[in-house]
Structures are given as C-alpha cells and as structure tokens.
Amino acid sequence: MNALELQSVSAGYGPYRALDEVSFAVGTGEVVALVGPNGAGKSTVARVCAGLVKPTSGRLFVGGHDLTGAPPWQIARNKLASVPEGRGVFARLSVAENLQLSFGRWLGSEAVPGALEEAFARFPILADRRRQRAGTLSGGQQRLLSLAKVLGNAPDVVVADELSLGLAPAALDDLYQQLGAVAERGTALLVIEQRTDRVLALAHRAVVLDRGVIRFDGPPAGAVGVLDGVLGGPRPPARSGETAG
C-alpha cells in the first residue's frame, strides 16, 4: 500500500492551472524527491497533499484512504504531516512551547512529556535552546523546529516543501542528517527541493515536474539529464490558463 498517491490531479488558482493530471505515489518508507524549475507546480502539489488546495479533478489518497477535497485536519489525522515553505513556527513562543502546542493538539496532553523527550533527544540543538524564543533562532534552527513539531506526531508520511530555502551549508547538513534519520525509521517522505544535489542523494526515486506536468518518474540518477533539459533547454510555450505554482 502506498503512503501517498496522486491520481490524475489537476489544480490551480482561479482560472490558472498549476497542475495538469499529475500522477505519482510515495510507497511506505520510501523517499521521493519532487524537483523542477521555479513555477513548475511543486508547492501546489504540497498544498494539495495538505488539503490547502482542492483538486479540480483527480484523486488524493493517504494511506489508501481517498481524501480528495478533505480539510487539512482530516488529512493530518490520517498521519500525513506537512512542513510548509517558510519557517512555520510561533516566533514569540519558546522552543518548548512550540513543541508542546503541536504535540498537545494531535497527541493529547498526557503524551506531551514523552513526545518532548523524544524530540529533544532527536534534535539536541533544540534541547539546548528549549527556553529560547523561536523567533530568535537561526533560520536553520527554525526549520529544524518546524520539522520536530510534525515528527513528534508520529506521521506515516511527511511532505516537506523547500526545507533548505536560504540555509547556510552547515544548517543544510544538519537538516539532511535529520531527514535521513527520519527515513531510516520508516517514515515515507516527499521532499520538494531546489537543491537537487542534496535531495537526489537522499531519495529512492525522483519525480521531475515542469509547467504542471510530470516529465520523469524513476531512479534519481535518471532525473539529472531530464532536469538539465528542463532547466537549460528550450521550453514549450505555456498552455492556455497555466501559471506558476
């Protein structure tokens, strides 16, 4: 059974189409890299998976359940965690308070102490800063906190959108080390990235998206040539009603 599957999904914003019959799956415990140029529709895929954008056609399955058009809370209850583009933390709350709020919402108050202990063991740098306001953390530390918030809820699949955006190399190393540890625990990952070298090294499979259409779905090594063509070669004219996503 697949942890996540999109079947012929089209989606957009008003009259503009960002995805055109996109189909791919993320198997249980699999890491899939979703890559492509700016405006390819990658973030729209993440929003569809999280329930923030409803498909105009096609189906979304999470853990084998048809959740097409379901609200975000229902998708989250089916063990899909979304780490959106950006920092995704409450700046005025401490690191510990950010985690407690997230864990309490999904796990209940009784499970919070154990989830906190596990999160701090997994992310020692956050343990050292547990009383620090999240807004004063570095960009890399805030991204680790946003990841820790969703991992404490024991998801079956994580959709991570542009986690490395704006990060220094050292912070990027920490982030990908944690993603690798998550994958080793058997959590399925859909990682949407511009830093293709890092994500392709982590992934079991790669999906190349361009102008809302899948150009490749297969081994990461095979995606490199397709990406080169998409990024550097001649590109077809946009279809009517199509835009970035």
Residue 12 lies in a domain: yes
Residue 108 lies in a domain: no
84 vs 162: CA distance, rounded Å: 8
| Nearest CA-CA partner of 184 in 71, 82, 31, 72 | 31
Of 179 and 11, the one with more pLDDT: 11
pLDDT of residue 233: 52
| 3-state DSSP assignment of residue 243 | coil
Beta bridge partners of 7: 59
Torsions phi, psi of 236, nearest 5?
Answer: -70, 155
Residue 219 lies in a domain: yes
pLDDT of residue 168: 80
| 3-state DSSP assignment of residue 128 | helix
Residue 57 lies in a domain: yes
Residue 240 lies in a domain: no
Instruction: Give the domain range for residue 223.
Output: 2-85+154-232
Q: What percent of the chain has pLDDT over 70?
A: 94
242 vs 212: CA distance, rounded Å: 8
pLDDT at 175 over 90: no
| Nearest CA-CA partner of 227 in 181, 196, 186 | 196
pLDDT of residue 164: 82
Residue 243 lies in a domain: no
3-state helix, strand, coil in the chain (%, to 5): 40, 25, 35
Cα atoms in the 13 Å half-sphere on the side-chain side of 164: 20
220 vs 24: CA distance, rounded Å: 15
CATH number at residue 80: 3.40.50.300
* pLDDT, tens digit (0-9, with 9 covering 90-100), for 32-44: 999 999 999 999 9
* pLDDT, tens digit (0-9, with 9 covering 90-100), for 128-173: 999 999 999 988 889 889 989 988 778 999 999 988 887 888 888 8
158 vs 240: CA distance, rounded Å: 33
12 vs 64: CA distance, rounded Å: 24
| Nearest CA-CA partner of 36 in 160, 237, 173, 211 | 211
Contact between residue 112 and residue 96 where contact means Cβ atoms under 8 Å apart: no
Sheet holding 65-66, edge to edge: 16-27, 2-13, 57-62, 65-66
pLDDT at 122 over 60: yes
Specify the pTM. Answer: 0.87
Residue 147 lies in a domain: no
The mean pLDDT of 212-216, rounded to a whole number, is 97
Mean pLDDT, the chain, rounded, equals: 89
* pLDDT, tens digit (0-9, with 9 covering 90-100), for 40-94: 999 999 999 999 999 999 999 999 999 999 999 999 999 999 998 766 789 999 9
Q: How many domains does the chain fold into?
A: 1
Residue 220 lies in a domain: yes
